[in-house]
Amino acid sequence: MSGRQAEAGGGRFLSFEGIDGAGKSSHIETVAERWRAQGLEVLCTREPGGTGLAETLRELVLHQPMDALTEALLVFAARRDHLQRQVEPALARGAAVLCDRFTDATFAYQGAGRGFDPAVLAVLERWVQQDAQGRLREPQLTLWFDIDPALAAQRLAAARVPDRFERLDGAFFERVRGGYAERAAAAPQRFVRIDAAQPRDAVAAQVQQALAARGW
């Protein structure tokens, strides 16, 4: 965990990342159920989204044509509202926050995928996530569901109608995957790589092991 990270106030902040079709969504509810059974308050949420305003911005980002800077500004605007109105109050109450994607997705999709300048993303990250003491709000643990884009595409083809991102080609998702690998290499204490190509039970076991390693 980085020294510049904000305290979670007794709460837990866990993010789930990976390219579309990696299979992360299937596991969030399982973790939530287990933690609720332990008596924890759990907030399951997602980005972009998690508040009325942020869900409205999500609809635009997923369905309206726009350039990479507009995309980045909208996902950070959604993140700001989500942090202020949902995530920070939940962590302050001591709740566990399970977030389907967070800022790593912006570096992976808008940065590595679209080719937008990561230095600008890092500036926006500080504006949006830094507290008055200069500490950055980040997940304490990020589970990165890593998978070959060709396999993820096969899963998605069987699963749902694609949105703006899911329609992009294999080369885009190779770059996004590379973006996640870079983020993971830069923050090895925060990231755990999950081999998402495995069958669902094996993936669930890896998730459980990553949480147990944190005493969670």
Ligand X SMILES: Cc1cn([C@H]2C[C@H](O)[C@@H](COP(=O)(O)OP(=O)(O)O)O2)c(=O)[nH]c1=O
Kindly tell me which residue out of 81, 100, 125, 138 binds ligand X, with binding defined by CB under 6 A: 100
Which residue lies nearer to ligand ADP by CB, 111 or 149?
Answer: 149
Closest to ligand ADP by CB, 60 or 197: 197
Q: Sketch the per residue contact string, 38 through 77, with ligand X: x for CB under 6 A, - otherwise.
A: --------xxx-------------x------------x--
State which residue, 20 or 138, has the beta carbon closest to ligand X.
Answer: 20
Q: Say if residue 25 carries a ligand binding annotation.
A: yes
One-letter amino acid for residue 147 of the chain: I
Nearest to 17 by CA among 7, 8, 27, 9: 27
Helix then strand count (H, E) for the chain reads 9, 5
User: Rule CB under 6 A: which residues touch ligand ADP?
Assistant: 18, 20-26, 155, 159, 199-200, 203
Q: Rule CB under 6 A: which of 171-200 touch ligand X? A: none
193 burial level (CB within 10 Å; 0-12, 13-18, 19+):
middle
Among ligand X, ligand ADP, none, the one that 21 touches (CB under a kind-dependent 5 to 8 A) is: ligand ADP
Tell which residue, 112, 99, 93, has the closest CA to residue 184.
112
Q: Identify whether the C-beta of residue 115 lies closer than 8 Å to the C-beta of residue 68.
A: yes
